[in-house]
């Protein structure tokens, strides 16, 4: 048996970019900003932010106004001080009954700077 569902999918918010990728050398500043703009028909406020792990990142959310509309800017920075990779998720808790939590995936790939040899 096959079931086909059709319909219109409406956006809850414009999130750009949809994920955070932090790639760079150990010790270099790595930062990314995500814009979260609620759609007019689905207004919400971000009440708090938290990370699944949070050991290798710092983050903060700031509410801003643009043309009388509220939007949020999530700033994520690398905190890992050694070579390696990590994956985390930032959860944005909202006051929306439709989408109480927005998830932002975070991936970090911290490299050894060019010309520096890896010590055994």
pLDDT in tens, 48-71: 999 999 999 999 999 999 888 899
Distances (CA, A) of 39 to 9, 57, 82: 13, 28, 40
What pLDDT does residue 68 have? 84
The answer to whether the CB of 77 falls within 8 A of the CB of 31 is yes
What pLDDT does residue 48 have? 97
Q: Is the Cα torsion angle 47, 71, 39, 57 positive or negative in sign? A: negative
What pLDDT does residue 120 have? 53
What pLDDT does residue 66 have? 87
Beta strands across the sheet bearing 69-78 = 13-16, 31-38, 69-78, 57-66
- Asked if the model's pLDDT at residue 38 lies above 70, the reply is yes
Task: List, in sequence order, every beta strand (DSSP E) within 6-100.
Answer: 13-16, 20-25, 31-38, 46-51, 57-66, 69-78, 84-94
For residue 24, name the pLDDT band (cuts at 50, 70, 90): very high
Q: H or E stretch including 104?
A: strand 101-111
Listed in sequence order, the DSSP H helices in the chain are none
Average pLDDT over residues 12-22: 97
Report d(CA 18, CA 32) in Å as an integer: 11
Domain ranges of the chain: 13-111
Average per-residue pLDDT for the chain: 93
Average pLDDT over residues 86-92: 98
13-111 fold: Immunoglobulin-like (2.60.40)
């Amino acid at each position: 048996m096959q079931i086909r569902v059709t319909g219109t999918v409406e956006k809850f918010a414009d999130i750009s970019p949809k994920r955070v990728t932090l790639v760079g050398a150990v010790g270099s500043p790595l930062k990314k900003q995500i814009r979260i703009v609620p759609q007019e028909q689905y207004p919400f406020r971000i009440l708090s932010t938290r990370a699944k792990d949070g050991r290798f990142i710092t983050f903060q959310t700031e509410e801003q106004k643009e043309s009388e509309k509220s939007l949020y800017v999530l700033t994520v920075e690398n905190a890992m001080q050694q070579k390696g990779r990590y994956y985390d998720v930032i959860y944005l808790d909202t006051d929306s009954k439709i989408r109480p939590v927005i998830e932002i995936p975070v991936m970090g790939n911290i490299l050894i700077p060019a010309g520096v040899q890896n010590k055994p």
